[in-house]
């Protein structure tokens, strides 16, 4: 595809050929142009035409003729790819743009063609005490002007100026200044030396000893006949006496302390100077360095060979260190070294050589122990024998410097005891010896002499003949020292004589003898038992063992019983009888009589008392039964009530009797006749009124109890108080709240007692008080039963 640019960088992407194009005239038209004569359509042309500025080539080899603007000229005729051309302007003109362009690989020239601009910098002003010379007598672009001064005047500024691109002359207008100076000024305490008096000459100032210069030391003769700057001043400087140093001294080499003076420091023996030894008094009035110090000479940390360590107090001069070797090493060389004046340790560093003596031979019937488990130099080995053997030889050996163990190896020898000594009237027996196969050897006064030896641990037991006691330790052991333990005991005769008589009993001598070891036996008469030991022995102190026993009559203990049970005992002697009885309202389970037996215990087992229970009497027709205090045991009571329009025939209250039955006959409820309706209606009205009053009292009582937040009585003291209060004030019953708690009533029925006439409610078990229509029930005794107390509506036992 062919492409070209109308302007540099503007791409033509849609080729449209002009009329009759392309025609490839003569077969040489390999380039195309946008032809303005063809309405800027494509036209194929030859690639070597020099009037074509912009062409499109398939494989360009040149860029064609470069374009140029007015007043510009081009240098260079090589237009091939990679060639460079230059642009130039006529005299007085300035080139605007790049002066050089290159033919690129795409067949176009780089950049844009520059232009030429006419520039005139204008005339220059005249130079006082000098001349201005315009080269070529022009002031346009590139023109030069040269400046020169009269005699004894010096040009200050650029000697040549050029007309620049911006239409201005380069640099500033120079000047011609006079160049002869007078004598330089003098200074106190110093001197001056000059190189001349013309411009550029210098005057150098120096100060005398002890003075320093303040200001510039050199002045220059400037144009106009003046020295540059102000003459310096010489100021007197004294650094003062230098400070003293510990363990050292200083010396003033010039005997002065003014500027330029020197001081030299030195230290006493055994000290080094830390700092600058020689210092100078500077122009700042200070010595040239910090005050040095005298430091005690020290040596570096000593070298440590393998297997060694050093012991020393410090590393200061004259201090000593001592080399030691670690365990197993021997020191080769001098052990003690001293820190010298040069800060080095005296002598050569010693070495440590490792020494190992190796293992020793094992010990028969013994063992070898290496201290710390090592065999190197200084190590020790200890020997020990097994039990019953003693060591013959040294107990320990040491590894020497020559790599050998000290002394000879020891041996283990068995330890044995000789024949034990036999005392008079004694008998001894030996057990545990290894040469009699575990048998016991017995020696008496009749035995002959023996040379038998005994192993360690063999046991000798001494006994005496009958009637004799052993005085001393009767047992002796063969110890590891080869001797029998303790002293040989002796046999001494002992007699305890006849024992005292026994009341209600007798004694008998077992061996019909009273000497040491004899026994006496005691026995009691019938129905008596022995209190004490029945057998006594004659002791080694000549007395009978323990106290004389006594014969005491055999008695049974007090028979056991429960809390409520009673027992009567006539006598606790053998054959005595214990009779048990139960309290009223309880019956006995078991035998009520027990007999004291010969062995001092009561026959049989203890009987048990159980409460009499009459059980629930059962319901009645047209009425209900209320069990008082929720119990049916002895002395408890039940109440009988009839429904409205029925009257009770029989007792109102029945009690549980001792025989387990309820007292009296069971009542019954029969319907009332018509003649009694009128009084009953009256009673009904009274009963309703009384029920309302009682209901209000119950409500008030409940409110009062809730405010009190009463809790059940939980201690005996409160219960007993409540019992006493119950005994004094019997509960007042409300017809409207009667409930037997046993599901014998009618729970979902209306109150059946609201219309019961009050006159017919209570029977004989209740007594009428002085208040009319108010009754108090007589408290019912429960005998020995636990009291049932109702406090604030809560039953508490």
What are the tens digits of pLDDT across the range 543-573? 888 888 989 888 888 888 888 888 988 888 8
Contacts of range 562-569, beta carbons closer than 8 Å, 24 or more positions apart: 562/606, 562/608, 562/609, 564/609, 564/784, 565/607, 565/609
How many Cβ atoms sit within 10 Å of the Cβ of residue 493? 13
For residue 22, is the peptide bond before it cis, meaning its omega torsion is within 30 degrees of 0? yes
What average pLDDT does the structure give for the chain? 79
Percent of the chain's residues with pLDDT above 70: 82
Give the best-scoring range by mean pLDDT among 647-651, 680-684, 714-718: 647-651
Of 6-20, 55-69, 458-472, 612-626, where does mean pLDDT reach its minimum?
A: 6-20
* pLDDT for position 59: 62
Matching residue, tokens 């020494």: 355
Q: Is the pLDDT of residue 271 over 60?
A: yes
Q: Which residues contact 479 (CB under 8 A, 6 or more apart)?
A: 417, 456, 485
Q: Is the pLDDT of residue 786 over 50?
A: no
Task: Report the C-alpha gap between 484 and 416 in whole angstroms.
Answer: 10
H/E element holding 346?
Answer: none
Q: Is the pLDDT of residue 776 over 70?
A: no
- Cβ 157 vs Cβ 174: under 8 Å: yes
Contacts of range 162-166, beta carbons closer than 8 Å, 24 or more positions apart: 163/119, 163/120, 163/121, 163/139, 164/119, 164/121, 165/94, 165/119, 165/141, 166/119
* pLDDT for position 766: 34
Q: What is the mean pLDDT of residues 223-235?
A: 82
Q: Is the pLDDT of residue 679 over 80?
A: no
Q: Is the pLDDT of residue 748 over 50?
A: no
Query: Where does the pLDDT of residue 780 fall: very low under 50, low under 70, confident under 90, or very high at 90 and above?
Result: very low
Query: In whole angstroms, how far apart are CA 793 and each of 418, 699, 711?
Result: 99, 13, 10
- Cβ 53 vs Cβ 63: under 8 Å: no
Query: Where does the pLDDT of residue 153 fall: very low under 50, low under 70, confident under 90, or very high at 90 and above?
Result: confident
Query: Where does the pLDDT of residue 265 fall: very low under 50, low under 70, confident under 90, or very high at 90 and above?
Result: very high
What is the 3-class SS of 737-797, one letter each residue?
Answer: HCCCCCCCCCCCCCCCCCCCCHHHCCCCCEEECCCCCCEEECCCCCCCCCCCEEECCEEEC
CA atoms within 13 A on the CB side of 250: 24
* pLDDT for position 246: 92
* pLDDT for position 78: 86
Q: Give the N- to C-terminal CA distance of the chain in Å, as an integer.
A: 126
Is residue 728 classed as helix, strand or coil in its secondary structure?
A: helix
Q: What is the mean pLDDT of residues 418-426?
A: 85
How many Cβ atoms sit within 10 Å of the Cβ of residue 77? 9
Burial 440-474 (b: 16+ CB within 10 A, else e): ebebeeeeeeeeebbebbbbbebbbeebbbbeeeb
Compute the C-alpha angle 532/537/543, nearest 5°.
95
How many Cβ atoms sit within 10 Å of the Cβ of residue 750? 7
* pLDDT for position 367: 92
Of 347-361, 644-658, 677-691, where does mean pLDDT reach its minimum?
A: 677-691
Region class of 728: left (phi > 0), else alpha (psi between -120 and 50), else beta: alpha
Domains (ranges, CATH) in the chain?
Answer: 4-118 (2.10.70.10), 130-178 (2.10.70.10), 190-236 (2.10.70.10), 248-295 (2.10.70.10), 308-354 (2.10.70.10), 366-414 (2.10.70.10), 416-493 (2.10.70.10), 505-553 (2.10.70.10), 566-611 (2.10.70.10), 623-796 (2.10.70.10)
Query: Where does the pLDDT of residue 293 fall: very low under 50, low under 70, confident under 90, or very high at 90 and above?
Result: very high
* pLDDT for position 770: 33
* pLDDT for position 721: 35
Of 189-203, 377-391, 677-691, where does mean pLDDT reach its minimum?
A: 677-691
H/E element holding 612?
Answer: none
Q: What is the mean pLDDT of residues 123-148?
A: 87
Matching residue, tokens 């005992």: 569
Q: Is the pLDDT of residue 603 over 80?
A: yes
Higher pLDDT, 127 or 18: 127
Percent of the chain's residues with pLDDT above 90: 14
Query: Where does the pLDDT of residue 52 fall: very low under 50, low under 70, confident under 90, or very high at 90 and above?
Result: low
H/E element holding 699?
Answer: helix 677-708
Q: What is the mean pLDDT of residues 219-223?
A: 82
Rg (CA), the chain: 75
675-677-682-684 Cα dihedral, nearest 10 degrees = 140
Q: pLDDT tens for residues 173-188?
A: 898 877 778 888 888 8
Task: Report the C-alpha gap between 248 and 274 in whole angstroms.
Answer: 11
Of 358-372, 489-503, 669-683, where does mean pLDDT reach its minimum?
A: 669-683
Task: Report the C-alpha gap between 79 and 88 in whole angstroms.
Answer: 17
Task: Report the C-alpha gap between 246 and 305 in whole angstroms.
Answer: 38
Q: What is the mean pLDDT of residues 655-678?
A: 80
Query: Where does the pLDDT of residue 32 fall: very low under 50, low under 70, confident under 90, or very high at 90 and above?
Result: confident
Burial class (CB in 10 A: 0-12, 13-18, 19+), 665: exposed
Beta bridge mates, 368: 383
**Residue 389 in tokens:** 């053997």
Q: Is the pLDDT of residue 264 over 90?
A: yes
Beta bridge mates, 528: 553
Of 361-365, 524-528, 768-772, where does mean pLDDT reach its minimum?
A: 768-772
CA atoms within 13 A on the CB side of 189: 14
Q: Which residues contact 7 (CB under 8 A, 6 or more apart)?
A: none
* pLDDT for position 753: 36
* pLDDT for position 50: 54
Is residue 229 classed as helix, strand or coil in its secondary structure?
A: coil
* pLDDT for position 795: 37
334-338-339-341 Cα dihedral, nearest 10 degrees = -110
How many Cβ atoms sit within 10 Å of the Cβ of residue 227? 20
Q: Is the pLDDT of residue 501 over 60?
A: yes
* pLDDT for position 683: 57
């Amino acid at each position: 595809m062919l492409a070209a640019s109308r302007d540099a960088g503007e791409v033509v992407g849609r080729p449209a050929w002009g009329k009759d194009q392309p025609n490839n005239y003569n077969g040489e038209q390999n380039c195309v142009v946008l032809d303005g004569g063809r309405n800027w359509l494509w036209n194929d042309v030859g690639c070597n035409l020099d009037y074509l500025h912009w062409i499109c080539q398939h494989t360009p080899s040149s860029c064609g003729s470069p374009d140029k603007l007015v007043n510009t000229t081009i240098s260079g005729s090589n237009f091939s790819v990679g060639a460079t051309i230059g642009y130039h302007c006529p005299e007085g003109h300035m080139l605007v743009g790049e002066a050089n362009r290159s033919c690129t690989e795409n067949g176009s020239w780089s950049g844009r063609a520059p232009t030429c601009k006419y520039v005139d910098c204008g005339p220059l002003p005249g130079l006082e005490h000098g001349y201005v010379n315009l080269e070529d007598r022009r002031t346009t672009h590139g023109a030069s002007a040269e400046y020169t001064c009269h005699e004894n005047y010096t040009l200050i500024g650029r000697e040549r100026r050029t007309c620049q691109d911006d239409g201005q002359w380069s640099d500033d207008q120079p000047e011609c200044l006079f160049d002869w100076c007078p004598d330089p000024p003098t200074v106190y305490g110093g001197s001056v030396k000059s190189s001349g008096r013309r411009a550029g000459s210098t005057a150098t100032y120096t100060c005398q000893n002890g003075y320093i210069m303040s200001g510039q030391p050199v002045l220059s003769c400037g144009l106009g006949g003046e020295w540059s700057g102000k003459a310096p001043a010489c100021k007197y400087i004294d650094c003062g006496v230098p400070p003293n140093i510990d363990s050292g001294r200083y010396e003033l080499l010039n005997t002065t302390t003014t500027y330029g003076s020197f001081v030299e420091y030195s230290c006493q023996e055994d000290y080094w100077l830390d700092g600058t030894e020689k210092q100078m008094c500077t122009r700042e009035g200070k010595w040239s360095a910090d005050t040095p110090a005298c430091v005690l000479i020290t040596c570096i940390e000593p070298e440590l060979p393998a297997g060694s360590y050093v012991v020393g107090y410090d590393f200061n001069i004259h201090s000593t260190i001592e080399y030691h070797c670690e365990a197993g090493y021997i020191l080769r060389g001098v052990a003690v070294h001293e820190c010298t004046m040069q800060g080095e340790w005296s002598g050569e560093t010693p070495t440590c050589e490792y020494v190992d003596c190796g293992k020793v031979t094992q010990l028969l019937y013994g063992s070898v122990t290496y201290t710390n488990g090592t065999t190197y130099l200084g190590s020790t080995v200890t020997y020990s024998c097994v039990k019953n053997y003693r060591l013959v030889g040294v107990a320990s050996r040491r590894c020497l410097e020559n790599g050998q163990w000290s002394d000879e190896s020891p041996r283990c020898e068995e330890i044995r005891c000789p024949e034990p000594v036999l005392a008079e009237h004694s008998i001894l027996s030996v057990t545990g010896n290894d040469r009699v196969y575990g048998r016991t050897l017995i020696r008496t006064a009749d035995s002959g002499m023996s040379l038998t030896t005994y192993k360690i641990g063999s046991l000798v037991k001494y006994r005496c003949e009958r009637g004799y006691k052993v005085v001393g330790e009767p047992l002796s052991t063969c110890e590891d020292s080869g001797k029998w333990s303790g002293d040989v005991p002796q046999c001494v005769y002992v007699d305890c004589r006849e024992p005292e008589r026994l009341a209600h009993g007798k004694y008998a001598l077992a061996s019909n003898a009273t000497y040491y070891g004899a026994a006496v036996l005691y026995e009691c008469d019938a129905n008596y038992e022995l209190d004490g030991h029945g057998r006594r022995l004659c002791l080694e102190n000549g007395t009978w063992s323990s106290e004389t026993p006594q014969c005491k009559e055999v008695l049974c203990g007090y028979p056991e019983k429960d809390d409520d049970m009673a027992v009567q005992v006539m006598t606790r002697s053998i054959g005595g009888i214990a009779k048990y009885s139960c309290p009223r309202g309880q019956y006995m389970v078991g035998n009520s009589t027990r007999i004291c037996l010969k062995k001092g215990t009561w026959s049989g087992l203890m009987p048990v008392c159980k409460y009499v229970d009459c059980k629930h009497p059962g319901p009645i027709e047209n009425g209900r039964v209320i069990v008082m205090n929720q119990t049916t045991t002895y002395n408890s009571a039940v109440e009988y009530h009839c429904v409205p329009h029925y009257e009770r025939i029989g007792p109102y209250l029945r009690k549980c009797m001792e025989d387990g039955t309820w007292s009296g006959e069971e009542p019954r409820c029969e319907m009332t006749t018509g003649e009694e309706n009128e009084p009953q209606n009256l009673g009904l009205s009274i009963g309703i009124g009384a029920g309302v009053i009682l209901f209000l009292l119950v409500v008030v009582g409940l409110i009062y109890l809730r405010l009190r937040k009463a809790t059940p009585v939980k201690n005996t003291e409160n219960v007993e108080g409540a019992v006493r209060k119950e005994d004094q004030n019997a509960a007042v019953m409300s017809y409207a709240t009667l409930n037997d708690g046993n599901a014998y009533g009618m729970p979902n029925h209306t109150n059946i007692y609201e219309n019961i006439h009050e006159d017919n409610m209570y029977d004989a078990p209740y007594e009428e008080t002085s208040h009319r229509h108010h009754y108090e029930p007589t408290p019912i005794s429960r005998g020995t039963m636990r009291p049932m107390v109702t406090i604030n509506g809560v039953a508490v036992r």
